[in-house]
Amino acid sequence: MRCDLEKAVSLLDQGHTLVAVNKDETITSNERGVKPLLDLLDGGITLNGYCVADKVIGKGASHLYALLKPTEIYASVISKPAYEILVNENIPIRYGRFVDNIINRAKTDICPIERAVMEIDDNEIALYQIRKKLSELSSSSNG
């Protein structure tokens, strides 16, 4: 293994939602959803050389990981569409639970981010759609 996936998973198990480890450098987040990944992209950070552990990876997150280019990923839960994206991007993935789709927080439907990118295969277009959907969700919750 080229990076320390076990260390990332161990830190994830301590309550983080996202952990990225590269030798002595560790990035953690306690934010839910795709926000930590968008923050990394917005900060111009790449995860090349990092092993990543993430609580939940849906198709939207997998497109963002394709842009961030981590060395290896562990997901506590991953959806089938997310898995397929990562395999196609040649990003090694291990997981705890494999599900058909990520469900929304109310457990009533497919996650809105997963739904927003369901028919998209291009990572840049997916990034645009994710930002658009988050903006719509933010507007509807504030209004």
Q: What is the DSSP string of 10-28?
A: HHHTTT-SEEEEETTEEEE
* Residue 76, token pair as written in the block: 């506590």
* Rounded Cα gap, residues 58 and 133, in angstroms: 15
75 HSE (CA, 13 A, CB side): 23
Mean pLDDT of the chain: 94
Instruction: Tell me if 81 sits within 8 A of 65, measured CB to CB.
Output: no
* Rounded Cα gap, residues 135 and 143, in angstroms: 12
pLDDT score, position 140: 81
With a CB cutoff of 8 Å and minimum separation 6, the contacts of 85 are 59, 62, 63, 66
pLDDT score, position 86: 98
pLDDT score, position 113: 96
| Domain ranges for the chain | 5-142
Q: What one-letter code names the amino acid at 116?
A: A
Angle between helix axes 35-42 and 59-68 (nearest 10 degrees) is 20
Provide DSSP, 70-108: -SEEEEEEEEHHHHHHHHHTT--EEEEEEESSPBPTTSS
Instruction: Report pTM.
Output: 0.94
5-142 placed in CATH 3.40.50.11740 = no
* Positions in the chain short of pLDDT 70: 1-2, 142-143
